[in-house]
Chains A and B, each alone.
Chain A
Amino acid sequence: MMLIKRKEFLQIGSLASASLMMPTFLKALEKKSWVPPGNKVLVVLQLSGGNDGLNTVIPIRNDIYYKSRPNLGIQRDKALQLTDEAGINPALPFFKNLFDEGNLGIMNSVGYPNPDRSHFRSMDIWQSASNSNEYISTGWLGRYLDAQCSRCEKPTQALEIDDVLSLALKGEQIKGLALLDPKRLYSSSNEKYFKQINAVHENEEPVVDYLYKTLSETLNSADYIYEQSKLRPSSQRYPASGLGKNLQTISSLILSDINTKVYYVSLASFDTHVNQENQQKRLFTELNDAIQAFVTDMKNNHRFEDVTIITFSEFGRRVAQNASGGTDHGTANNMFFIGGGLKQKGLINPMTDLSELNEGDLIHKVDFKSVYATLLHNWLTADDEKILGKKYELLNFV
């Protein structure tokens, strides 16, 4: 029998009369639907718009890079040096700290065959984990829910911090839940009318039942998430930016006893056709400061070993700068892995080869589905082959 922590008990006791709550609460314990510390979580951070990877992790010894980007290239002495050949964007100083202390992994040249240059389509491909010539209407994390969660009581295993749920979290049977703010979700779903019609609904036609099931899960989850988010308030200060707030929400849930395994969050506006330098600097500052607060928070609460954050973008950008101080849509890109439990750190694979391009574009060396397979198999202990529909090569970073 697990110990019920006094604080948590009081919290729940104050929300509803103990006699009402106890049975479900004990049942929940029995079913292990809450997860003790040690629970591994994955945070997926989507950089929407196509982040310029070459100005993120900079090949500081590469002449082709500087020739292709006479104005936009980041000079060696401006970049924060990681290794002899690689520097990181000066707006990401905390990422350099992470690199130096062994909590950052960089995977270069990630992409897929026959890349698509439309934002939407390429994002579709990344989120559904499809090939560029097939159309899959479910997302990779949604299919993870299908595989893992057929008997889950609450659909809180995967949460997106947003108003709208991404394809990535939509499964055939089970879908993740989108919320921007636990409190807002709680108050909006706390509408008496919805609760009452839901309470008296009886089984009838399958489609009506499906809708009521979704309604009921939403209402229950809203309460559950809100309770959990208040369970162990952290003293960590977060920046007031959108990403700062969202990572704070994620932290409040990771530090609770919620059963969430996957968090999904986005930072938008990386489509830097024009005036890239300022735009990317602004976004990276937001990214840097939010990640710094989050990592510090996790470390202080001894949970950093249980967390892996990954970043991705729907595509990278072309090697050459354009005429408007920006870059146009490209292909392969780098990904960051951040966490206290990484098995491979630093530059995991070679820097992108700029001498071998396809009509001015990078050629991918690592299929992003291999990265997914690794996360599913090694980190979330799920059946990657079933979820991705194919066995992809497993990597070793987690």
Chain B
Amino acid sequence: MALTNQRKNQHLLWRAAFGPMAENANELSDISKQDLYKLLIKTSSEKPVTLNVSNNAYDGLIKGLQDIGKIQQLTLEEKKQFRKQSAENIRDLNILWLDEMINSEAQLREKMSLFWHGHFACRILNIFFQQQLINTIRQNAFSNFGDLLREVSKSPAMLTFLNNEQNKKQHPNENFAREVMELFTMGRRNYSESDVKEGARAFTGWGFNLRGEFMERPFLHDNGTKTFLGKTGNFDGDDILDIILEQKATAKFITQKIYKFFVNEELDTEKVQFLSDRFYQSNYNIQELMNDIFASEWFYEEKNIATKIKSPVELLVGVRRLIPMQLDRPEVQMLFEKVLGQVLFFPPNVAGWVGGKSWIDSSSLMFRMRLPQLLTNSEQLLVTPKEDDDVMMGRQGADSGNNSRNLSVTVDWDSVYRVFAKTKREDLWEKVNEIVFQTKTSINPNILKRFIDNNSRESFIRSTIIELMSTPEYQLC
């Protein structure tokens, strides 16, 4: 496929957003990529609506974050109830966020939030903490990395997940300090074991109160002198974060990760160095970094297009943006996430999802290639994902019943047909191909012909889209 304006714009939409949407897929040949990017910035600049699914939860137990302290006073049975409720609400939060990714105009913000959600990976079964963390991420997704780092590091979710509640003057726990350096900021080989120890001492006392608000507890804090990354002083946690942000290694580490996620798994060392220097000079302004990428010419070069394997969430959301549909039981999407290996709010560990080729094995590829058919034909799901015992806590799985596997989907095909309303019949194949695929090459039309329903213009469009989506090529963006 030629490097048309349409394809460049779709490239931008797949990387800075979740792919083209049915209602405007057709306008992409006319608008310039600069204007399209400006539009993405504009729609993502407003403060996001807070995701909140916990309003109706815990009646009689806990009413909201203000009541979080009550957890301590609950009986064992009530605590169990709370965890069960939390698991259900986190599922709701998952579905609600997916809806945002599909429908929100603030596409760049949600895409960047998905990146940070994997970067600041936190696996914890407390709906209030998870909800607070994801909203923090969404609010700061493309403002300033220093602010984002600070807010995340002070969130009850992360402090709990990385055991900083157990990090006390007499008994330091290094987990939090180590992961902040290894995974959130500098990456390995840029600090020593002694820096981990000294950093951990500075974070002693970082915790949160009963309302889930960050607080420093002086009686647990180690007030002694610490030597951290060559500096010596009576540092506290904020000082440590400042020193970490002074390191160029931090700008480089984050830039590399962003480049891999948004541009190409194969690093271009020169480009990364250039971007990282500017990121550092801008004092970690995320939006400027993204401007440097998306407003460049090199981002749109052929070598960067269709080289990325869509993550399960990107795949699912991408299908749903081009083919608008209504799911009777949207929670079934979590089953897709489980089978394909990316459940929102349940990253494998604090290192997040590895991405790239690790998404693909025999069974996940076969399932990916069946997904469009499953959805649009309302088929029954014949797969069983593995149970998550941290969530189930000995209960029987909700996925085990057949009832939960019947897909009931209403597809709004009319919106899809409208995309091609002005396309002549003989150009239809070419046009559908251009909108669905990002790869340079496509499926051999002689093969495809055997599987396409040619009875009407509508059936042709419908079956071509489904068949094209059911291919290895469609896994790429």
Contact = CB atoms under 8 A, between A and B. Distances in A.
Contacts of B306: 205, 207-208
B393 A207 contact: no
Interface residues of B, number: 56
Contacts of A177: 361-363
Contacts of A121: 123, 349
Contacts of B338: 164
A170 B358 contact: yes
A176 B357 CA distance: 14
B314 interface: no
A76 B341 CA distance: 45
Interface string B395-435: 01000000000000000000000000000000000000000
Contacts of B230: none
B364 interface: yes
Contact of A196 (B386, B393, B440, B450): B450
Contacts of B384: 163
Interface in A157-203: 162-167, 170, 175-179, 184, 188-189, 192-194, 196-197, 200-201
A50 B439 CA distance: 45
Interface string B240-283: 00000000000000000000000000000000000000000000
A232 interface: no
Given A120-B390, A268-B386, A272-B394, A197 B443 contact: yes
A211 B475 CA distance: 8
A208 B473 contact: yes
Interface string B436-477: 000111011001001100000000000000010011110110
Contact of B472 (A135, A212, A269, A271): A212
Interface in B327-352: 338-339, 341, 346, 348-351
Interface string A309-329: 000000000000001101000
A218 interface: yes
A193 B363 contact: no
A165 B361 contact: yes
Contacts of A194: 369, 470
Interface string A54-68: 000000000000000
Contact of B362 (A155, A201, A271): A155
A208 to B, nearest CB: 6
Q: Which of B354, B365, B396, B472 lies at the interface centre, i.e. has the most chain A CB atoms within 10 A of its CB?
A: B472
B476 A175 contact: no
B348 A120 contact: yes
A179 B299 CA distance: 40
Nearest to B475: A211
Provide the main secondary structure of the chain B interface. loop
A179 B363 contact: yes
Given A200-B447, A204-B440, A49 B362 contact: no
B363 A205 contact: no
B123 A210 contact: no
Contacts of A137: 348, 351, 354, 358
A55 B364 CA distance: 37
A197 B471 contact: yes
B388 interface: yes
A217 B360 CA distance: 13
Interface in B363-377: 363-366, 369-370
A296 interface: no
A384 B387 CA distance: 30
Given A194-B369, A324-B76, 17 more contacts: A119-B388, A120-B348, A135-B350, A137-B351, A155-B362, A164-B385, A165-B363, A170-B358, A170-B361, A193-B451, A193-B467, A197-B444, A204-B441, A211-B472, A211-B476, A214-B472, A215-B472
23 contacts: A48-B389, A120-B349, A124-B348, A135-B350, A135-B351, A137-B348, A155-B362, A163-B385, A177-B361, A179-B363, A192-B451, A193-B470, A197-B443, A197-B471, A205-B307, A208-B476, A210-B357, A211-B309, A214-B360, A215-B365, A221-B362, A268-B386, A323-B76
Cβ-closest 5 pairs across A and B? A211-B472, A119-B389, A135-B351, A218-B362, A163-B383
Interface of A: 48-50, 118-121, 124, 133, 135, 137, 155, 162-167, 170, 175-179, 184, 188-189, 192-194, 196-197, 200-201, 204-205, 207-208, 210-212, 214-215, 217-218, 221, 266, 268-269, 271-274, 279, 323-324, 326
Interface of B: 76, 123, 175, 178, 306-309, 338-339, 341, 346, 348-351, 354, 357-358, 360-366, 369-370, 382-390, 392-394, 396, 439-441, 443-444, 447, 450-451, 467, 470-473, 475-476
